[in-house]
C-alpha cells in the first residue's frame, strides 16, 4: 500500500463503492419484490411487470384488443404463461354489451373449460373464431346489398359508401342468424348420424332416415327463434338462395342448378362458400378464381355424399333381400335446408302471411326496398 500510486488507490475505492451499490440493489430488490403474487401462474418477465399486482396487469390487458394480447403472448414464455393462466378472466371483460363480439357470442357459445368442470369460458382462440365469423357475415352482407340495390340504381347512380354501410348493417344480424342455423344444424346432424349408425350397425341408414332426422333437428333449432327472428332469417335465406340462382342461371329455369346450391348450404363452411361464389361471380373476376371455386365444390359434393348420402355399401335385410333397390342416388334439394322446417314453423305460429322487411331506404329512391319471400303480404 505504501508504494501504490494514487491511480491504484482510486481504483480500489471505486471497486468497493461498486460492490456496495450492488449489495444495496440486491437488498432493495429482495425487499420490494411482491410476495403475494402467485408465481405458479405468473413467471418473471425481467421487466417492471414483475412488480405489478396480477389484478392490475389483467386490467391493462382488458383495456386492449384481443389481437394485442395475442401478440403479447408471443413475446416470451413468461407472458405466454400469464395469458394462458388468466385468459378466461380477460376474455369475459371483453364482452362489451352491444359490440359485434357480444352479439355473436349469443349465437355461438364459448367452448367448455379445459379444467374439466364443464363450464363454458371464452378464450382468445374463441374470440379469433368470432372475428372470422364476423368478417364472413359482413362480406356476405356486402355482396347481397350490391345484388339488392344495384338494379334500383341502374346506370344513373353509383352506391356510395354511406348507403352501402347502412344497408349492410341492417342485414348483418339476419346473416349471423343464418350462419348460426346452418352451423348447428349440420353439427347436430353429423352427431345424430353417428348415434344412429352405432345403434343400428346391422342396418343400412337410408336417405329417408337422414332426411327425417335433419328435419327434426332443424325444427328444434327453430323453436328457439322468436317470430321476428324467424321471419328475418327466412327472408335472408330466400334472398341468398335466389341471388345465387339468378347468378348461376340468368335465364329460366332459374332452379336448374339447385343441387349445387343445396351442397353449398350443407357444406362445413356454407357462408364462406357463398362469399367465394359472389367474389368469383363479380365482373372482371379472374378465371382462376372461378375454376378454384368449382374444384372446391366438387370436393364438397364428394364429401357431402359420403356424410349424408345414406350409406356407402348395400346390405341384406333379415329376409335375405338386398336393400340396394331401396337406395337411390343422393340428390340434395334446397327445400331440405331451412325452407321445409321454416314452412312448418310459420304455419304452426300462424305467420304464413307476414310483412316484408323494409330494410333499405335511400334518398335517391322513392320508396324502401322490400326484401321478403312469397309469403310476404303488405298489410
Mean pLDDT by 10 residues, the chain (379 residues): 66 79 69 46 63 85 86 87 86 82 88 76 88 92 79 54 66 89 93 80 69 94 94 91 90 89 93 93 86 90 79 44 50 92 94 77 56 73
In a domain, 306, yes or no: yes
Q: Using the 8-state DSSP alphabet, how is residue 111 labeled?
A: P
Kindly list the distances between the CA atom of residue 282 and the CA atoms of 91, 146, 159, 169, 373, in Å, as whole numbers in the listed order: 38, 10, 16, 21, 25
In a domain, 268, yes or no: yes
pLDDT at 4: 60
pLDDT at 152: 55
Helices 227-248, 339-348: crossing angle, 10 deg rounding: 150
pLDDT at 323: 44
Question: How many domains in the chain?
Answer: 1
In a domain, 355, yes or no: yes
In a domain, 343, yes or no: yes
pLDDT at 167: 65
Task: State phi, psi for 293 to the nearest 5 degrees.
Answer: -65, -45
| Signed CA dihedral, 199, 205, 208, 212: sign only | positive
In a domain, 262, yes or no: yes
| Signed CA dihedral, 106, 144, 267, 342: sign only | positive
In a domain, 341, yes or no: yes
Cα angle 199-183-188, degrees, rounded to a multiple of 5: 15
Q: Dihedral through CA 332, CA 335, CA 337, CA 342, nearest 10? A: -160
In a domain, 213, yes or no: yes
Task: State phi, psi for 375 to the nearest 5 degrees.
Answer: -85, 0
pLDDT at 366: 52
pLDDT at 251: 87
pLDDT at 145: 79
H or E element at residue 131: helix 124-153
Nearest Cα residue to 136 out of 98, 91, 92, 183: 183
In a domain, 19, yes or no: no
For the record, the C-alpha cell of 232 comes out as 328475418
Enclosing domain of residue 280 = 156-310+330-371
Amino acid at each position: 500500500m505504501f508504494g501504490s500510486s494514487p491511480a491504484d488507490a482510486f481504483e480500489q475505492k471505486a471497486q468497493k463503492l461498486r460492490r456496495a451499490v450492488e449489495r444495496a440493489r440486491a437488498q432493495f430488490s429482495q425487499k420490494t419484490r411482491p410476495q403475494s403474487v402467485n408465481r405458479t401462474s405468473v413467471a418473471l418477465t425481467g421487466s417492471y411487470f414483475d412488480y405489478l399486482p396480477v389484478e392490475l396487469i389483467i386490467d391493462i390487458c382488458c383495456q386492449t384488443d384481443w389481437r394485442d394480447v395475442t401478440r403479447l403472448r408471443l413475446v416470451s414464455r413468461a407472458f405466454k404463461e400469464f395469458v394462458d393462466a388468466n385468459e378466461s378472466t380477460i376474455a369475459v371483460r371483453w364482452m362489451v354489451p352491444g359490440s359485434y363480439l357480444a352479439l355473436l357470442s349469443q349465437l355461438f357459445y364459448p367452448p367448455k373449460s379445459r379444467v374439466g368442470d364443464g363450464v363454458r369460458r371464452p378464450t382468445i382462440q374463441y374470440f379469433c373464431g368470432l372475428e372470422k365469423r364476423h368478417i364472413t357475415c359482413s362480406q356476405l352482407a356486402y355482396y347481397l346489398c350490391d345484388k339488392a340495390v344495384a338494379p334500383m340504381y341502374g346506370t344513373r347512380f353509383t352506391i356510395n359508401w354511406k348507403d352501402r354501410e347502412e344497408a349492410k348493417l341492417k342485414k348483418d344480424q339476419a346473416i349471423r342468424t343464418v350462419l348460426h342455423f346452418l352451423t348447428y344444424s349440420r353439427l347436430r346432424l353429423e352427431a345424430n348420424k353417428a348415434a344412429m349408425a352405432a345403434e343400428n350397425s346391422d342396418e343400412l341408414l337410408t336417405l329417408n332416415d337422414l332426411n327425417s332426422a335433419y328435419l327434426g333437428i332443424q325444427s328444434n333449432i327453430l323453436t328457439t327463434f322468436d317470430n321476428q327472428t324467424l321471419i328475418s332469417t327466412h327472408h335472408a335465406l330466400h334472398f341468398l338462395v335466389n341471388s345465387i340462382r339468378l347468378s348461376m342461371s340468368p335465364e329460366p329455369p332459374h332452379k336448374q342448378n339447385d343441387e349445387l346450391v343445396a351442397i353449398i348450404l350443407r357444406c362445413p363452411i356454407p357462408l364462406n362458400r357463398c362469399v367465394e361464389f359472389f367474389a368469383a361471380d363479380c365482373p372482371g373476376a379472374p378465371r382462376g378464381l372461378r375454376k378454384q371455386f368449382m374444384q372446391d365444390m366438387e370436393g364438397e359434393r364428394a364429401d357431402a355424399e359420403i356424410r349424408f348420402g345414406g350409406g356407402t355399401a348395400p346390405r341384406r335385410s333379415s329376409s335375405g333381400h338386398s336393400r340396394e333397390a331401396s337406395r337411390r342416388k343422393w340428390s340434395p334439394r334446397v327445400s331440405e335446408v331451412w325452407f321445409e322446417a321454416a314452412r312448418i314453423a310459420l304455419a304452426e305460429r300462424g305467420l304464413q302471411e307476414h310483412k316484408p322487411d323494409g330494410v333499405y331506404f335511400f334518398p335517391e329512391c322513392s320508396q324502401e326496398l322490400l326484401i321478403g319471400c312469397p309469403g310476404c303480404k303488405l298489410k
